[in-house]
Each structure stands twice: as structure tokens, then as C-alpha cells.
Amino acid sequence: MDEQYRQWRRKILDAGPTQSASSVTYDDFRASVMQGDDGGQLLDYVNSKVIFQAGVDFESRPMVVFCACGLPPSSKVDYDRLLNLIIFRLDQFVENDYTVVMLTSGMQHSPGWAWLGKAYRRLDRKYRKNVKRVYVVHPSAWSKLVFQVLGKLVSPKFFAKVTWVDTLSQLAQLVPLAQISVPAAVHEYNAKVDATSGIGRRAAPSDPVIAAADRPVFGVALADEVLLPAPVRESIAHLRRHGVATEGVFRRSPASHALRAAKDAYNRRQHVDLAGGVHVAAVLLKVFFRELPAPLFGTDGYAAVRALPPPSTGERAAYVADVVLAELSRASRRLLCCTCALLAAVARNSAVNRMTAANLAVVWAPNLARSASPMADVAMCAAGPASATVGSVVLIMITEFDRVFAREIADIAPNHGASAADAVLDVVDAMAQEGESWTPA
């Protein structure tokens, strides 16, 4: 149990004899810290200026950005509360594999060693276990000293995840930099070290074999044909057979080299053996959506999503089918139908795999939504039963699969039995087995 929570709980119980021990919970502690004496102003500041999500990285992992230049002066802010708010933000990611980008330049207010030591003790193994990459951008002598000191305490396994990044142009080769709202102070510092700082998506692949692929599969527009692209049909079929009971499927990440090898092989039109690679198949599927030239839900589609009726109307599924999906191409709707059939099967096994429909919506939404505004994208990826976001649309597509995709199901598997999702997956299995020779029944 967190020491900060214990101290707060003891104070509450000592102050009020009417409070029972069972009535003072950690959720109460969180709510108290978030609200504070300022009505939540520090919470809003921390979540927008200090630590925030910036979509997903090139391997479809949530990307968490920490801006040192956003740290407020300790003379004006309670740094114990600040640390709690940072930890509460991280709590939203620690159950998934995730990537951290630390923007260390432009910092005006350096936290003391005592606070750093406290932060280290509180960021225990659960926070370090699932972080897969830590990119330290514009590392200063101070930041390197901090990591060297912590290196005496933290395992070498964790520090193998740390990469020093000198410029934003280098960072753009490692993560989708266009998704990050880089503070002006960081840009100003970067201009001093790299006059040609580049903000954009990943550079063209350096492997001449990959670059010369005649017909790459990833990163190209969908063709209006019945057959699903190879990585989609084969990943769905593999996950249906081997992945629906795997704990953390779509949440965990494979080894980067295994994912890269499979993706490159698909782009070269080579056979890919996914045996034993549940997480490779799961992330390949997310990356395929993530790298579509035009996102399924972008700026033009956000208005329709924001107009999603409230749950009390009972019209949300019909609205998604008749309005939201109606704006997509036939190929996009078919792609979503086959993918959501798999997600529905995964959700049915949530007692084993711990991936409920809500959890799946959280990890999938960032791969479907993209616009020119990273902050708007993050807001649109929230998944709640009553919200009007892309995350909510994904949740509805999973939980109301039969109703949302009735037209697509009739097109893909017209003679299905009791389970429409299973019938669609049977068709995808046939596509995967027969490949280019497959024809509709």
C-alpha cells in the first residue's frame, strides 16, 4: 500500500470518528489529491503540460510524453501532490506495454534529489516492467547524472531500454514525432543543436530490398476487393486459433526484431510463419490499421462521432451503422467487420485473457483515429459507455457486433448460423488458407 495513501488515510480517520476504516478507500485518496485546494487546476496542468499521451508509437504501443520544461516551481506547487498526479497518470498505462519519451530540455525548475529519490521509490516494478522504450531527448549533464545515480539502483535490464536522443530529427526516426505537441522551449533548444530539425513520420526504410518492394502491403490504401490483405487475414486467422485465450492479447508487445521481420517479409510478399507469435500477429494487425495512408476515423469523421446519441436513447448501435460507418468505403467497412468479429471473440474470453470489450477499445482506438491535432486525437480515443468518441464507437462495434455490421455480415457470410462473428471468422480462415486463390462461396 502506498505510504502517501496510508498517511492520508490515518489523518482522515484521526480527524473524524464517524469515518469507518472500510469507508476510506484509495479511490477517495485519488479523488482528494486530484481535486486539491484548487479545484483540479494542477491536475489539468499536469495532464496537459507535464505528462500526456501522444497516440501510439510505430509498434502500436501507447506513447507517454514527459516534459521537464513543464515542471512548475516548488515554491508554488506541492511537489508531493505533483508526484501523486504524475503517478495517477502513469496508472492509466502500466497494464499495457508502453513507450516513454522524456523531453528534458528547456527545464526552468529542477526537482531536488530528495524528490527524485521519493519518485524512484514510488515508481516500483509495475511501472518499469511494461515500459519497452525510454527515449531521453536532449540529455543534459544533469539528466545523465540522474540516470547514472539511478543506474546503481535499477536493474541493467531496465537501462537497456533507455536511448539517448540528441535532436528532434533523430527522435522522428524512432517515434511518430508529428503526434507530439512539442513545447516551444524544446524547439528553441533543438534549434541550437540541429538547425534542420525535422518533424514527421518515420523515414523511408533503409533496407534496399524493402524499399524496392513492388507492391508493399503496409502503408498503402485499401483496394476495393473482397480478399483481405495478407497480414490482416493471416493475423486474424492465427489469433482466432491461438490467441483468444492469451492473457493481454493486443495489450502486450512482441520483440521488436520479430515484429519488424514479419512486417518486412509481408512487404516483400514472402510467406510469413506466425506459429508461436500471438503477440506478433496482434501487433501486426494494429500496425496495419495504424499505417493506412488515410485513417478510418480522421478530422472529417470526428463530427459524426461527436454526435453519437446517449446510451439512454438505445440508438447508438444503429447510429454507428447508419451514420458513422456509412462515411467509410466498402473496403474499410469490410476490414472493420472482420477485425471486430475477432475482437468480439476475444472479449467473450475476457475471464481468461483479461481483455474486456472496454480494454480492447482502449488499445485499438489510437490505431483508428488520426488528425492534425494530437490532443484532439487523444481525447477522441477515450472509451466510455456514455462518451461520444472513437473509443466508444469501437466499444459499440465489439459489443453490438451483429447489429452494427448487419449489412457487412450479410455480404461476407450470408448463410451464417447462430453466431455471426464466428461465421465471418470462418470466411477469414478460408481466405488465409487459400490465399490469392480464394473466391467467395
Confidence (pLDDT) at 10: 55
Query: CATH code for 36-193?
Result: 3.40.525.10
Per-residue pLDDT of the chain (441 residues; tens, 9 = 90+): 455 555 555 555 455 544 444 555 667 777 888 888 889 899 999 999 999 999 899 999 999 999 999 999 988 999 989 999 999 998 888 888 999 999 999 888 888 878 887 887 787 777 888 899 999 999 887 777 777 766 655 666 777 888 999 999 899 999 999 889 899 889 888 888 865 444 443 443 434 333 334 568 999 999 887 789 999 999 999 999 999 999 999 999 998 888 998 998 899 888 888 876 899 999 999 999 999 999 999 999 999 999 999 999 999 999 999 999 999 999 999 999 999 999 999 999 999 999 999 999 999 999 999 998 888 899 999 888 889 999 999 999 999 999 999 999 999 998 777 689 999 999 999 999 988 777 776
pLDDT for the residue 399 = 97
- pLDDT for res 423: 94
Pick the CATH number of 208-437 from 1.10.1610.10, 3.40.50.10610, 3.90.480.20, 1.10.555.10: 1.10.555.10
Using H for helix, E for strand and C for coil, what is the string for the chain? CCHHHHHHHHHHHHHCCCCCHHHCCHHHHHHHHHHCCCCCHHHHHHHHHHEEEEEECCCCCEEEEEEHHHCCCCCCCCHHHHHHHHHHHHCCCCCCCEEEEEECCCCCCCCCHHHHHHHHHHCCHHHHHCEEEEEEECCCHHHHHHHHHHHCCCCHHHHCCEEEECCHHHHCCCCCHHHCCCCHHHHHHHHHHCCCCCCCCCCCCCCHHHHCCCCCCCCCCCCCCCCCCHHHHHHHHHHHHHCCCCCCCCCCCCCHHHHHHHHHHHHCCCCCCCCCCHHHHHHHHHHHHHCCCCCCECHHHHHHHHCCCCHHHCCHHHHHHHHHHHHCCHHHHHHHHHHHHHHHHHHHCHHHHCCCHHHHHHHHHHHHECCCCHHHHHHHCCCCCCCCCHHHHHHHHHHCHHHHCHHHHHHHCCCCCCCHHHHHHHHHHHHHHHHHHCCCC
Q: What is the pLDDT of residue 227?
A: 84
Each domain of the chain, given as residue ranges in start order, spans 36-193, 208-437
Residue 201's pLDDT is what?
A: 39
Say yes or no: do domains 36-193 and 208-437 share a fold: no
